[in-house]
Amino acid sequence: MSWQDEYRKKMVTPEEAVQVIKSGDRIAFAYGLEPNDLSLALLARSGELKNIKLYVPAPGRDFPWYEPGWEDTFEVSVGYILPVARKMIEERRADYMVSGLLWAEDPKVREPVDVLLIYLSTPDEHGYCSFGASLWDKKKAIQEARIVLAEVSPDLIRTRGENYIHISEIDYFVEHTPTGNVPGATDILGRQTSGASAVEKAIAEHVGGIVQDGDTFEVGVGGAAEWILQTGVLDTKNDLGVHSENLPRGMASLVMKGVITGRHKTINPGKVVSTACGGGTKAEMDFINSNPVFELYPSSYVLEPRVIGAHDNMVAINSALAIDLTGQIAAESLGSTMVSGTGGQLAFAMGATLSKGGRNITVLRSTAKNGSLSRIVPQLDAGTIVSVPRNLSDVVVTEYGVARLKGKTQRQRAMELISIAHPDFRVELTKEANRLFSP
């Protein structure tokens, strides 16, 4: 049987595809955008299904199961807290999957999946589908799921690397109904973009002074970090390289401008390596599509600290919600309220620490809530998750400057951080530092 015949044989309607789902099943989505038509068909069966354990790694589409009243049908857990699921998490109607660096690669700790729902490109001339703008752990998820349902669309981009799967590994296909969404209308976290503020521009200027010609770097999504690529502070650099979990908006433009060449990369020279590349403008996504410079690999490779650390002059740039005077970095929660997820921040902090010439940069606004709260605090609030331990904190940047923590005592660290705190809070922070770390 040719692959074309096999593909046609596996093609069904969304309603037919979800008939394989039974009450009590564990249903999982893959990372990236949830397949719309399969999801709607699953929702249509809500009256006849009960106790479905629904795992959504990165909630993007606003489906009804995030609203109250669906608990008898769907028991929801998420892997990253994005806007559509935030209220559900706050109200304790859903649970959060605590993820480690490579724990997902160990089948002993992965809960078995009955049915996996995934979004793929239509097959190429050889019968291979692309995972589009993100790969993550999708190949392994397909291999381990009992049944795989794929919604296919010709609109997904193709990249080099390992961003493909053969149609023989999928159980059923459904054709995607176009929704009219334009690629690049939002950033990688699904937020509408409005431009960098004066604070974010100031932070970017400081970071621009730390990144050097020939560095390999990573930029995390969200917060102040993502704007660094769009403010022009890196435009005068030469021969930068990229090994990054994501490629936020502005990264592909730096390749177009010749700023990013990867010429001095220790690993994969000349290549822009990531496990996801969504969130760019349409022009950027068109540039990435089928471009041999861009290679997507599984998160088990991209987020492996030893791989990251094998790059000389590796610079990790990530955002934080708060940091205490010893250098503990909080990027996931404030108190017991979860607002985000770990992502690759810890992996890149470890990798940059292992790297010869590496630097781990944490960026954050000095204040929150219209200047009423300092993000640099004496101690983190009770229940706050420490995303990066103080042992790995290195360079911290706010709009007021750069604090260098590596090789410093607790008191020295506190004084460094106070020097870049908002002036309105420096006196009180100094009092607290004297109380906590008496000279």
Runs of H (alpha helix) within 104-246: 138-144, 198-208
Confirm whether 334 is domain-assigned.
yes
Q: Check whether residue 306 and residue 267 sit in a common domain.
A: yes
Cα dihedral 398→395→227→78 (10° resolution):
-110
Kindly write down the DSSP assignment for every residue of 154-190, as one continuous string. Answer: TTS---EES-EEEGGG-SEEEEPPP--PPTTSS-TTS
Which tokens is 233 given?
A: 């502070």
First-residue to last-residue Cα distance in the chain: 78
Q: Kindly report the number of other CB atoms within 10 A of residue 356's CB atom.
A: 11
Confirm whether 266 is domain-assigned.
yes
Q: Check whether residue 227 and residue 163 sit in a common domain.
A: no
pLDDT of residue 69: 94
Measured between alpha carbons, how far is 213 from 236 in angstroms, rounded to an integer? 9
Provide the number of structural domains found in the chain: 2
Name the nearest CA neighbour of 245 among 173, 332, 348.
348
For 240, which DSSP code?
A: B
Confirm whether 182 is domain-assigned.
no
Confirm whether 192 is domain-assigned.
no
Confirm whether 183 is domain-assigned.
no
pLDDT of residue 100: 57
Confirm whether 41 is domain-assigned.
yes
Q: Check whether residue 206 and residue 168 sit in a common domain.
A: no
Measured between alpha carbons, how far is 45 from 19 in angstroms, rounded to an integer? 9
Name the nearest CA neighbour of 425 among 371, 364, 363, 369.
371
Domain-ending residue, one of 175, 206, 237 = 175
Confirm whether 186 is domain-assigned.
no
The mean pLDDT values, 10 residues at a time, for the chain of 439 residues are 96 98 97 94 96 95 95 94 93 86 56 95 98 94 96 95 98 86 44 77 98 98 91 97 96 98 98 92 95 96 96 98 98 92 92 98 97 98 96 98 97 98 98 91
Helix, strand, coil percentages (3-state) for the chain, rounded to 5, are: 30, 20, 50
3-state secondary structure of 266: coil
Which tokens is 314 given?
A: 């590796």
Q: Give the CATH number, domain containing residue 90.
A: 3.40.1080.10
Measured between alpha carbons, how far is 80 from 55 in angstroms, rounded to an integer? 11
pLDDT of residue 385: 95
Q: Which residues are catalytic?
A: 245
Measured between alpha carbons, how far is 11 from 167 in angstroms, rounded to an integer? 11
Which tokens is 414 given?
A: 């506190």
Q: Check whether residue 137 and residue 11 sit in a common domain.
A: yes
Q: Check whether residue 102 and residue 157 sit in a common domain.
A: yes
3-state secondary structure of 294: strand
Q: Give the CATH number, domain containing residue 277.
A: 3.40.1080.20
- State the Rg of the chain over Cα: 22
Q: Check whether residue 140 and residue 102 sit in a common domain.
A: yes
pLDDT of residue 184: 40
Q: Check whether residue 206 and residue 161 sit in a common domain.
A: no
Runs of H (alpha helix) within 281-397: 282-288, 299-302, 305-309, 345-354
- Contacts for 119 with CB less than 8 Å, ≥ 6 apart: 30, 32, 33, 34, 35, 132, 150, 151, 153, 156, 176
Confirm whether 30 is domain-assigned.
yes
Domain-ending residue, one of 175, 209, 226 = 175
E strand or H helix at 121, and its extent? strand 115-121
Q: Domain of 423?
A: 198-436
Q: Check whether residue 170 and residue 250 sit in a common domain.
A: no
Q: Check whether residue 154 and residue 239 sit in a common domain.
A: no
Domain-ending residue, one of 175, 208, 225 = 175
Q: Provide the pairing of β-strand 147-153 with 164-166.
A: unpaired
Say if residues 422 and 366 touch (Cβ distance below 8 Å): yes
pLDDT of residue 182: 40
Q: Check whether residue 231 and residue 93 sit in a common domain.
A: no
Q: Check whether residue 168 and residue 257 sit in a common domain.
A: no
Which tokens is 155 given?
A: 């609109």
Q: Provide the pairing of β-strand 367-368 with 373-374.
A: antiparallel
Q: Check whether residue 250 and residue 398 sit in a common domain.
A: yes
- Contacts for 8 with CB less than 8 Å, ≥ 6 apart: none
Measured between alpha carbons, how far is 419 from 330 in angstroms, rounded to an integer? 19
